Amino acid sequence: MTEVNKNRTKTDEAWERLYARLDKDRLLVEVGQERAVRRKLLLKWGTLAAAVIAGFVYLASALWFVPGGEVENLNLVTQENREASMLVTTLEDGSVVYLAQESTLQYPEHFATDKREVNLQGEAFFDVAKNHEQTFLIETGKVRIEVLGTAFNVRSHEDDSFRLSVQRGRVKVSLKQGGQSVLVSAGETVTLQARQLQLSETEDSDEFRQYTKNIRFKDECLEDILRVVNAEAPTLQIQVASSVLNKRKLTIEFENNSPETVAELICWALSLKYSREGDKLILSE
């Protein structure tokens, strides 16, 4: 079997799995002779892929206290991931969050002018967009994390266990009770032991790879999806022929797929086509 036929076979298999999953979840509706994917708000790369709705997203009106004792009414987005694959979402500021299984992330629909604050229960990998005018804050059970721009993972669970490893940059980790703070730099890990923050070298430098192997997007803009996907395959980039396509939204999962298969699946879901131009795959209508 030629390499082209092998790739076509893998893509066909991925399509079959995609179709079966959507059909099972009743996300397919007949439109003439074609099928259209029904949009729905619900949030690892290899050989197969399938679109999937996992967990859910909802907006809630909540009261947040701001400096000066004033109360600010914000629309909060809550995302819960109950699936094994990482739930990937791009925040308003361009920061990317990879939410692990059985984890919850909550953040305002629009960040405040002076800070970007989110709440995390569970585990996630954060790739934070730099903005020195707007501090990025992560609230967990007993620990507060402050960062201006970096990449790191956090594990904070209800049993009071806490662990943070920094891949790039530096973050400040502070206990909410007791006042202890530590600065954590790239290659370092901080844990919470006996109510004290303990700093050490990161033992497994490959631990960050687990967050980008099997990844899932839900109702995300194509522009944000391609930004994440292209970071994992720098030698063959997927681009759009027209900027109009960037705002098209999509719910899809990739499991160790080649760039060609990723392009095929996106085209299938959005009724597009693609062509190869050197080291680029161009999506078009």
Of the candidates 178, 208, 238, which is a domain's last residue? 208
CATH classification of the domain holding 259: 3.55.50.30
- My answer on whether 101 and 242 are in the same domain is no
- My answer on whether 184 and 87 are in the same domain is yes
Whether the model pTM is above 0.85: no
Distance, CA of 90 to CA of 245 (rounded, Å): 17
* pLDDT for residue 159: 65
Q: Any idea which residue has 């059909």 for tokens?
A: 23
* pLDDT for residue 215: 92
- My answer on whether 173 and 44 are in the same domain is no
- My answer on whether 42 and 110 are in the same domain is no
Of the candidates 154, 175, 208, which is a domain's last residue? 208
% of the chain exceeding 70 in pLDDT? 72
Model confidence band, residue 66 (pLDDT cutoffs 50, 70, 90): very low
CATH classification of the domain holding 129: 2.60.120.1440
- My answer on whether 203 and 217 are in the same domain is no
Of the candidates 148, 174, 208, which is a domain's last residue? 208
- What is the per-residue pLDDT across 6-36, written as a single tens digit (0 to 9) for each? 555 555 565 565 555 555 544 444 333 333 3
Distance, CA of 228 to CA of 121 (rounded, Å): 23
- My answer on whether 38 and 166 are in the same domain is no
Domain that holds residue 239: 3-52+212-284
- My answer on whether 81 and 121 are in the same domain is yes
Please choose, from the candidates 227, 220, 229, the residue with its C-alpha nearest in 3D space to the C-alpha of residue 256.
Answer: 229
Q: How many structural domains compose the chain? A: 2
